Amino acid sequence: MNIVVVGGGWAGCAAAMQAAKQGGNVTLLERTDMLLGTGLVGGIFRNNGRFTAAEEAISLGGGEMFAAMDANAVHRDIAFPGHAHASLYDVTAMEPVVRKMLRNAGVEIHFTTRIIDVEMEGQRVNAVVTGKGSGAVRYAGDAFIDTTGTAGVPNSCNKYGNGCSMCILRCHTFGIRVSVAARAGAKEMVGRKNDRYGAMSGACILMKHSLAPEIIQILERDGVAMVPLPESPDNAVEKLEGKCCQQYALPEYSRNLILLDTGHVKLMTTNFPIEQLREVTGFANARYEDPISGGIGNSIRYVGMTPRDNMLRADGIDNLFVAGEKAGLLVGHTEAVVTGVLAGYNAVQSAAGADLLVLPESLAIGDAIAHVRESMRTEEGLGSKFTFSGAGYFQRMRQRGLYTTDVEAIRNRVTAAGLTNVFSGRTRSLSPPVASVRRSSAASARVG
Amino acid sequence: MPLKIVDDCTSCDACVPVCPNEAISPGDVIYIIDADKCTECVGTDSDPQCVSVCPVDSIIPDPERQEPREALQAKYERLHADGCD
Ligand SMILES: Cc1cc2nc3c(=O)[nH]c(=O)nc-3n(C[C@H](O)[C@H](O)[C@H](O)COP(=O)(O)OP(=O)(O)OC[C@H]3O[C@@H](n4cnc5c(N)ncnc54)[C@H](O)[C@@H]3O)c2cc1C
Ligand code: SF4
Ligand code: SF4
């Protein structure tokens, strides 16, 4: 079973791992030179309902990525406005860890490999390709997973944002995001609120050593620092409106600079003019790490989401699965990982002709997947973002009794659903063809 | 032969200002060249200016449109007929 995953963000990494665990012969294609996508600059997990979702995934047997984040956390169980029991992984050290894990699991990773087209046969994808002319490489597969995210493309950053702010996605170096699902004929949706399309990321990264030593000290001790802003209500209002995540639309975020220690320093705002930033005590020499032009803007996301069912199969395409931001207005690493695991599982099931899995709504993960699908059909839904950690969806989790930090209770919930370790995969020894298939497959050949 | 922009375009905007005919604009995803306005810089320069600035070599002759040099020159003159240069 050849499974081809396109896009190596958290969703793609989780999907590739899951598919490999189930004996799939997995190829992961990433257009840049690193895995994790926007996960290279985030770092917050286990905050609010993300704790519950992570523990559900662990009980379901698909907890590898969370184990890796936990092992690489620089702070655990910290609080900042609106958020409890958060962990922060070290964004500077996470990528090599995941790369190694995937390689150990037998995933074949190809970097600087940007897919720009698909070969279809009726409602099925036969192969994805890197180009049209000679030199184009084609990757054939039995099932495909589109985890290309929703960030960029430069035209969107220009049209809906403040232009390219040179973020970690580095479109001008590696070429722009191309949606496999769209190329396969999916009618994609765009997140929008009023006349505003897409949304900016809700955080920037500052170079730690560009800040005053007192601030670094607090950050390294507590994981969080809140620095009050001098009065300037006008720009605060604009910042709040441009926010990607309603979860950060609290007054604290406009009156203070909220900083988190994620190896570098995460500044909880979409962007902040560097001149103004440098007027704040302790920030006289502040410099952005990502986006490099964080004083001007941030990348635009939520353009290009794929309609899909609750098995995460793209509508109208039999063997294409989607996860992460691609699968809806789902914001976050945790959200990308849990949907990635399900997409990876169902891709292998589909290639094997076996039953596909829908997670029940008694689990937060199942409920979120179904709820986001429903919500995206409405105008209001397209104007919202969904995350286990805040805003509307976290409230829903609490109302439905889905939010808890009681690990035992979460385990019992998964047991009651009859799904304990459903994602634990077949052991490698039970799938003898894997090693030999991999060598001959490579599933890739030169075209043209 | 007018030029066209292919998939490698990163929408960097470098080509827009160098086009003497205002033939290039942002499309939905990548930039596009209006073939009715592209003269391959015949009329102003010896080489297509956009090709020389594109950082990813994504501007190529459009194989679907064959126009001899004279036609491109005529197109240039038509486009700039009421200009003051
Ligand atoms: C600045 C910032 C800070 C954030 N902070 C946090 C945080 O602290 N906590 C949190 O939970 N969430 C955070 N988020 C949100 C979170 O990062 C994302 O929602 C989540 O990681 C998305 O994962 P993904 O895999 O769906 O997509 P992405 O991370 O966008 O990954 C998509 C990948 O696909 C690749 N790709 C695209 N097109 C192609 C193609 N055609 N061929 C090959 N490869 C392709 C891209 O290069 C990329 O690597 C943050 C986001 C940003 C931008
Ligand atoms: S800001 Fe990031 S996503 Fe947007 S165009 Fe620049 S590199 Fe691409
Ligand atoms: S110069 Fe090249 S990459 Fe830049 S917009 Fe023009 S065609 Fe696209």
Report the chain A residue with the minimal C-alpha distance to residue B58. A175
CB contact under 8 A, B9 and A171: no
Same domain assignment for residues A222 and A90 = no
Q: Which two tokens stand for residue B25?
A: 């604009």
Low-confidence ranges of chain B (pLDDT < 70): 82-85
- Provide the pLDDT for residue A234: 55
**Measured between alpha carbons, how far is A391 from A247 in angstroms, rounded to an integer?**
5
**A298, A330, A356 — which closes off a domain?**
A298
Is residue A35 domain-resident?
yes
Residue where a domain terminates, one of A298, A320, A335: A298
pLDDT digits (tens, 9 = 90+) for A63-78: 999 999 999 999 999 9
Q: Is A155 close to B27, i.e. CB distance below 8 A?
A: yes
CB atoms within 10 A of CB A206: 23
Based on the fold, state whether residues A155 and A210 are members of the same structural domain: no
**Cβ neighbours of residue A444 under 8 Å, at least 6 residues apart?**
A27, A137, A138, A139, A140
Nearest residue to A333 (alpha-carbon basis) of A400, A273, A426, A266: A266
Q: How far apart are CA A27 and CA A370, in angstroms?
A: 28
The answer to whether A112 faces chain B, any CB pair under 8 Å, is: no
Cα angle at A52 between A51 and A58, to 5 degrees?
A: 90
Q: Is residue A447 part of a domain?
A: no
The residue type of A423 is F
CATH (domain of A341): 3.50.50.60
Question: Ligand 1 site: residues with CB under 6 angstroms?
Answer: A 6-12, 29-32, 37-39, 41-45, 114-115, 147-149, 151, 169, 177-178, 201, 203, 299, 324-326, 331-334, 336
Does any ligand 2 atom lie closer than 6 A to the CB of residue A40? no
pTM: 0.92
For residues A305 and A289, state if they share a domain. Answer: no
Rounded to the nearest angstrom, the distance between the alpha carbon of A271 and the centre of ligand 2 is 14
Query: Could you state, in chain order, the average pLDDT of each consecutive group of 10 residues for chain A (448 residues)?
Result: 98 98 98 98 97 98 98 98 97 98 98 97 98 89 98 91 95 96 94 82 94 98 95 53 59 89 95 95 97 94 92 98 94 97 98 97 98 92 91 94 98 98 70 35 38
Q: What is the DSSP letter of A332?
A: S
Torsional class of A116: left (φ above 0), alpha (ψ -120 to 50), beta (otherwise) = alpha
A111, two tokens: 């970097």
Amino acid at position B64, single letter: E
Q: Same structural domain for residues A150 and A178?
A: yes
Residue A172 belongs to a domain: yes
Judge whether A310 lies within some domain: yes
A331 in a domain, yes or no? Answer: yes
Residues A145 and A279 in one domain: no
Predicted local confidence at residue A232, as pLDDT: 62
- The pLDDT tens digits of the residues spanning A298-336 come to 999 888 899 999 999 999 999 999 999 999 988 999 999
- Tell which residue, A253, A255, A285, A282, has the closest CA to residue A270: A253
Question: If you take atom 4 of ligand 3, which residue's CA is the nearest one?
Answer: B12
Same domain, A73 and A129: yes
Find the Cα–Cα–Cα–Cα dihedral A248, A249, A251, A252, rounded to 10°. Answer: 10
| Same-domain check for residues A228 and A370 | no
Residue A444 lies in a domain: no
Residues of A in contact with B11 (CB under 8 A): 153-155, 158, 171, 176
Question: Is A200 touching ligand 2 by the criterion CB < 6 Å?
Answer: no
- Which residue range forms the structural domain that includes residue A137? 2-195+301-439
Please answer yes or no on whether A175 and B28 come within 8 Å at the CB atom: no
Specify whether the CB–CB gap between A224 and A260 falls below 8 A. Answer: yes
Answer with the one of A298, A313, A329 that is the final residue of a domain.
Answer: A298
Q: Is the minimum CB–CB distance between B57 and chain A shorter than 8 Å?
A: no
Overall number of domains in chain A: 2
Element (H or E) spanning A110, and its range?
Answer: strand A108-110
Chain B residues 10-29 within an 8 A CB cutoff of chain A: 10-13, 26-29
Q: Distance, CA A46 to ligand 1 centroid (Å)?
A: 17
Atom 45 (ligand 1) nearest CA: A7
Residue nearest to atom 7 of ligand 3 (CA): B9
Asked whether residue A101 falls in the same domain as residue A22, the answer is yes
Q: Does residue A307 share a domain with residue A284?
A: no
- Residue A37 domain flag: yes
What pLDDT, in 10s, does the model give residues A97-149?
999 999 999 999 999 999 999 999 999 999 999 987 778 999 999 999 999 99
Decide if the complex's ipTM is over 0.90: no
Please report which ligand is nearest the Cα atom of A290: 1
- In this structure, the answer to whether residues A326 and A191 fall within a common structural domain is yes
Same domain, A286 and A324: no
Tell me which chain B residue has its CA closest to the CA of residue A172: B10
Claim to verify: residue A418 and residue A316 sit in the same structural domain? yes
How near does any CA of chain A get to the CA of B84, in Å?
33
* A326 lies in some domain: yes
pLDDT at A444: 42
- Give the whole-angstrom CA distance, residue B23 versus residue B31: 10
